[in-house]
Amino acid sequence: MSLVVKNLSKKYGDKTVLENLNFTMEKPGVYALLGTNGAGKTTSIRMMLGMLSKNTGEVLWNGKPLDTATCNVGYLAEERGLYPKYALMDQLIYFAGLRGVPKAEAKKRIKYWAARLEVEEYLYPNASTDTSAADTAQGGSGNARKKTKKNKPKIADQLSKGNQQKIQFMTALISNPELLILDEPLSGLDPVNTDLFKNIIREEIAAGKYLIMSSHQMATVEEFCTDITILDHSKVVLQGNLNDIKKSYGRVNLALKVEQDIAPYIKRAGVTLITEKEHEYQLKVTGEAQANELLSMLIADHIPVITFDLREPSLHEIFVEKVGGDAHETV
């Protein structure tokens, strides 16, 4: 299987919101679409799924135009897509039916994912018993009658943002999709549930799925994605294999921790100071030679070095360099 995006473009009148996006996924894995707000990420995803018309370009799945009616696609949208006043179970069965999952099978899958995502209490309300007020008034004897109070199934409006995200993740997973598209999948999640989502994403990768991820959490992108595209003002500004991109920058970031002020040594070595806090320094060097020169100075003057970590730039640093940290209106 393969996914090919060719010359994908979109305009609204004279405004170009995406210009000639091209990328290919020839094997399972995770591809990242990155960019500032309004750079064209969500527009790209919606065109791929046929939710928006294209001005130019095509999207091919196994050599044929991608059609969500015939291709098993799961989509987790950034914005909330649940009906706020309808029971969650009814919605999940409905969305599963849209993806061709029979009702009986849908119920099995819902039960599985409800347990995995820890939302069973919202989908399978249990009966609870309360001692009646009348019997309590009679002295609270051990023979007090009890009444059964049945909890109603939850609706989307009653859930927190994070739990709504879990239900929407279920709708994306319920058809066991071949292609899974995740737009800001970790939005609204606390650290515990973030790890829960990450574990499921790892399982989908191990199962040989094709994933496209859009996220502003660069550390998460680095954790999962092998290839990336960075968009800025509707145009591709960087694209390729993430490891190759980072290697092309070289090892130019130096984390240094000592036990005294070393500002004179940093200046003498010509190293750029980025941040300093309690003798922990983040530095920018031209390469290993300059970093080792600074280290030699410190050793020669018997200054204890606690940490000396020379590394490639992070994706966060590369992203900021490429897009300049600008913020735009979301498209």
Tens digit of each residue's pLDDT (9 = 90 or more) over 197-222: 999 999 999 999 999 999 888 999 99
149 has pLDDT over 80: no
pLDDT of residue 83: 82
Task: Give the integer Cα–Cα distance in Å for 250 and 291.
Answer: 12
* Rounded average pLDDT over 293-308: 95
131 has pLDDT over 50: no
pLDDT of residue 74: 95
Q: What is the pTM of this model?
A: 0.80
